[in-house]
Amino acid sequence: MKRRLAIVIITLVALLLGGCPKEEPSQVNNPAPAAQETTPSSAADDAVMPAAEAAVAAMPTKLGDAAYPLTGLTWVKGEPVTLSPGKVYVVEFWATWCPPCRKSIPHLTELQKKYKDRVTFVGISGEEPGVVKTFVGKQGDNMDYTVATDAVGSVSKGYMTAFRQGGIPTAFVVDAKGRVVWHGHPLGDLEAVLDQVVAGTYNVPG
């Protein structure tokens, strides 16, 4: 009994200090629900397909590559964000059920206030919009940056999977040239990196 209790305590401490798995433990072994039947695609849908295929082909593989577009998201708080040249972004992946993610929220809010319109922060969760909207509503001004959901997981693949990141929270910095130049824990070197990226003095690790 004591041994089992010790294992539980060690596991909880590791989660708080480190990160959470990308998927909620209760969902990992459950297969995704079957896709609903859809009607045949229209000409407008067909026109979108080449752009989607081009985005997949342009998926980054290393720091310095062009950032994956923030498309197909459901925007829960704030206006939709499009990655534009000349602007800096922080794209952070998190979840409502992840303790380290919740711990990072006030820090990200402070950074958004510090950099104001020089850096746009976007928090992306893979959960259902209703779950995230309720959580964000309760956070109020404590979570004062743009929030979206990526239930399909396409944007997560363009960042988390592309850079082989398995735990959350994980933040990605996109510089003014539209490149992913850093990724890591929001409570790590994010602020120091942003100071340099905004000043135009950051050197992308080779």
Whole-model pTM: value is: 0.76
In sequence order, what are the residues at sequence separation of 6 or more whose Cβ sits closer than 8 angstroms to the Cβ of residue 44? none
Q: What residues does each domain of the chain span?
A: 60-206
The pLDDT value given to residue 20: 83
Summarize pLDDT for 60-79 with one digit per residue, the tens: 989 999 999 999 999 999 99
Q: Are 158 and 60 in contact (CB under 8 A)?
A: yes
CATH topology of domain 60-206: Glutaredoxin (3.40.30)
The predicted model gives 173-184 an average pLDDT of 98
Q: How many residues does the chain have?
A: 206
CB 120 within 8 A of CB 146: yes
Contact between 197 and 179 (Cβ < 8 Å): no
Alpha helix positions (H), 66-160: 99-115, 129-139, 154-156
